Amino acid sequence: MNENEKTASAAPQTLDSAAVFTEDEVLCHTKIADADKLFEALVGLLSARDPSFDPAAAVQAIRDREAASPTFVAPGIAMPHARLGDVSRTLLAVATSPDGIPFGPAGEPARLVILVLTPSTAPAAYLSVVASISRLLRQPTFADEVVAAETATGVEAVFRGAHRDPNLPPYVCAADMMGPPVATLRETDSVKDAIDVIIRTGFTNIPVVDKEGDLVGVATAQAILGICLPEYLLWMEDLSRYSSFEPFGTLLGKESSTWLADITDDETYAVVAADRPAIAVAEAMARRKTNVCFVTDGAKLVGVVTLKRFLHNVFRD
């Protein structure tokens, strides 16, 4: 690979040029009313552009992924996708249907369908496309504008509109991988509140925020165990005298009056800024030896990335 080829391959792809899709990969106001037939039609458009992959295998891979979980990214918007070994670059096709195409067992209608094929060996490729499109979808009128477009040229024009940034992000960031916190606690809550949330949600690391929503620490099940089991007990070989859970009984009597401020971990939990590269999430979790990383915008808690979610996005999504 010469220097010019290296530069070209490193440049971010765009949604307004042949790098990802053109009007030739658009089904505008399609009359297709079956998701499987839509997959075949969209893959057909892509195979006409790039004959290097097996269309039948691509359609089957998409069907398998949809059977596992319909890929809705927002109400009325589906993003079916597959990672293929014989695809060398990202391929994208778009379909619009004002009436909606039924997806999944519940038949939820999709008015905008964005099909993505990416190389199986490049997990960042799909995530970059999702990150870029997700930013567009956060604009309140974007999806409606795409669906309202009367022609394939019009659909493409909405994506590459001059008032939007058409570039795929140079990297996938923490905000692109995060989900909402399952639960939060306030620093004025009690240990009882923390135990209730841990039992209810199954999560053992609950973020603690102040009245402004700023992250001030994390309440962990380990910390609660720590106040039940004083350090000296951990050095004892014979705990038979405590066979009736006496230390836990002590906490039970004061769980409603023990405040999270007394046990909150404010130093050792994993946290990254929302605009940090996603790899920083993995590094933070590995360094802290935890399976959850909290995402902040400034000091404000804006999301959570679990190790399960991270691995799923990178290796399976």
Where do the structural domains in the chain lie, given as residue ranges?
3-169, 185-225+259-316
CA distance between the termini of the chain: 30
Q: Report d(CA 259, CA 193) in Å as an integer.
A: 9
Confidence of residue 305 (pLDDT cuts 50, 70, 90): very high
pLDDT of residue 127: 75
For strands 91-103 and 215-220, give the pairing: unpaired
pLDDT of amino acid 163: 41
Does domain 3-169 fall under CATH 3.40.50.880? My reply is no
Q: Is the model more confident about 10 or about 31?
A: 31
CA distance 239 to 236: 7
Alpha helix (H) residue ranges in the chain = 3-10, 35-49, 55-68, 123-137, 142-148, 152-159, 174-177, 191-201, 221-228, 231-234, 246-252, 278-288, 307-311
- 129 has a pLDDT exceeding 80: no
pLDDT of residue 175: 85
Cβ contacts of 267-271, under 8 Å, gap ≥ 24 = 269/205, 269/217, 269/218, 269/220, 269/294, 270/294, 271/215, 271/295, 271/296
| Strand, coil or helix: 43 | helix
Q: How far apart are CA 64 and CA 73, in angstroms?
A: 18
Report the top-level CATH class of 185-225+259-316. alpha beta
- Confidence band (pLDDT; 50, 70, 90) for 187? confident
The pLDDT of 270-277, averaged and rounded, is 91
How far, CA to CA in Å, does 180 sit from each of 46, 157, 175, 302?
Answer: 34, 32, 10, 7
Q: Residue 254's pLDDT is what?
A: 65
Q: Which tokens in the block code for residue 316?
A: 């399976």
Whether residue 136 contacts residue 147, with contact meaning beta carbons closer than 8 Å, is answered with no
As to burial, measured by CB atoms within 10 angstroms (0-12 exposed, 13-18 middle, 19+ buried), residue 69 is exposed
The lowest-confidence range among 124-128, 141-145, 260-264, 308-312 is 124-128
Is residue 184 pLDDT above 80, yes or no? yes
What Å distances lie between residue 292 and 42, 179, 268, 309, CA to CA? Answer: 37, 11, 12, 9
Taking each continuous run of H as one helix and of E as one strand, the counts in the chain are 13, 12
Per-residue pLDDT at 12: 38
The H-or-E segment that residue 26 falls in is strand 26-27
pLDDT at 15: 46
212-255 pLDDT, tens digit each? 999 999 998 888 877 766 554 555 556 555 555 555 555 555 66
The span from the CA of 268 to the CA of 226, in Å, is: 15
Residue 3 in this model has a pLDDT that exceeds 70? no
Block residue for tokens 């135990």: 195
- Exposure string over 95-114, b if 16+ CB within 10 A, otherwise e: bbbeebbebeeeeeebbbbb
Per-residue pLDDT tens over the stretch 53-88: 999 999 999 998 888 777 887 788 998 988 888 888
With tokens 């570039």, the residue in question is 167
Res 91 pLDDT > 50 = yes
Cα–Cα–Cα angle for 122, 126, 127, nearest 5°? 105
Cα–Cα distance for residue pair 240/175, rounded to 1 Å: 49
